[in-house]
Amino acid sequence: MMPELGKYASTVLSAYGVSIVLLIALVWWSLLAARRARADLDKVETRRNG
């Protein structure tokens, strides 16, 4: 199913690997930032409605 990459196989596969790792890290970082923002917003709303 995978195309023959010849002498470039290690370069292409490592590029794919790095890309996947970076995408996973970006999604994780975005979810973490959203969680922090939601917590901060909840704190502000709690203080406001006090």
What are the backbone angles phi and psi of residue 47, rounded to the nearest 5°? Answer: -65, -40
What was the pLDDT predicted at 24?
A: 98
pLDDT digits (tens, 9 = 90+) for 3-40: 888 999 999 999 999 999 999 999 999 999 999 999 99
For 6, left (φ over 0), alpha (ψ -120 to 50), or beta? left
- Is the pLDDT at 42 greater than 80? The verdict is yes
Q: In terms of pTM, does the model score above 0.85?
A: no
User: What residues does each domain of the chain span?
Assistant: 25-50
